[in-house]
Amino acid sequence: MLPELGKYTVAVLGAYGVTLAGFALLVGASLLRHRRVKSELARLEAARRQADER
């Protein structure tokens, strides 16, 4: 249950909403790039190993 925020409901919920959205964006973007870069590096290193073996 939400606490009673009275006439400041929009300001308080807006502030928490902005913060949670900002955190979600930061964490989401960081994880997404982390996964993309990690799999790209794995692919390149596997290709390099194959080339070295030949």
Partner 1 sequence: MSFWEYANPTRFMRLSGAALPWVAGLAALSLAAGLIWGFFLTPDDFRQGSTVKIIFIHVPAAMMAINIYVMMFAASLVWLIRRHHVSALAARAAAPVGAMMTVIALLTGALWGQPMWGSPWEWDPRLTSFFVLFLFYLGYIALWAAIEDPDKAADLTSVLAMVGSVFAVLSRYAVNFWSQGLHQGASLSMDRQENVSNVFWYPLLLCIAGFFLTFLALLLLRTRTEIRARRIRALHQRMAAG
Which residues have CB under 8 Å from 13's CB, separation 6+?
5
Alpha-carbon distance of 28 to 19, in angstroms, equals: 14
Alpha helices in 2-53 (DSSP H): 9-53
Closer residue to partner 1 in complex, CB, 6/54: 6
Closer residue to partner 1 in complex, CB, 3/54: 3
Give the binding site for partner 1 (CB under 8 A).
3-9, 11-12, 14-16, 18-19, 22-23, 25-27, 29-31, 33-34, 37-38, 40-41, 44-45, 48
